[in-house]
Amino acid sequence: MDSKAADPDFEARVRDSFARQGMMNFLEARLGRVEAGLVEILLPFRDDLTQQHGFFHAGATSTIADTAGGYAAFTMFPAEASVLTTEFKINLLAPAEGNMLRALGRVVKPGRTLSVCDVEVFVEKDGRERLCAKMLQSLIVLHGKPDTRA
């Protein structure tokens, strides 16, 4: 993948957009690394993010994976564009049992209209990480629609 971003200010644009995301604020997720074609999101454990067995809920896992991939694609878009997910498929590989989830979104194929991302979600427990979910995602570039709220 060519990791040259179309907008040199992509990191500021991603961080500004992330700060406006109601869902990420609600989950108390944090933005980690932001690089051209790569975004990391961290989600600390809370009891209200669990399912009946005490693991992170698949909904929380999927949400940060979708967002990490979306912003990874967004880093490659022109400044006047915004992003929407068109499709994703997630495999939950292991119970997400631990103190932190870390979603790492990577652009597989940037495109003028559609981009494809690969996302891995890791769960950290006792200082060790293991892969708990894997997502393949497609995103659409919305040209001429800046990522701002009116």
pTM: 0.94
Paired tokens of 71: 């912003």
Helix, strand, or coil here: 34?
strand
pLDDT band at 120 (very low <50, low <70, confident <90, very high): very high
pLDDT band at 2 (very low <50, low <70, confident <90, very high): low
Number of other CB atoms surrounding residue 144 within 10 Å:
8
pLDDT of 89-104, one tens digit each? 999 999 999 999 999 9
The confidence score (pLDDT) of residue 150 equals 43
Domains of the chain: 10-142 (3.10.129.10)
CA distance 56 to 44: 10
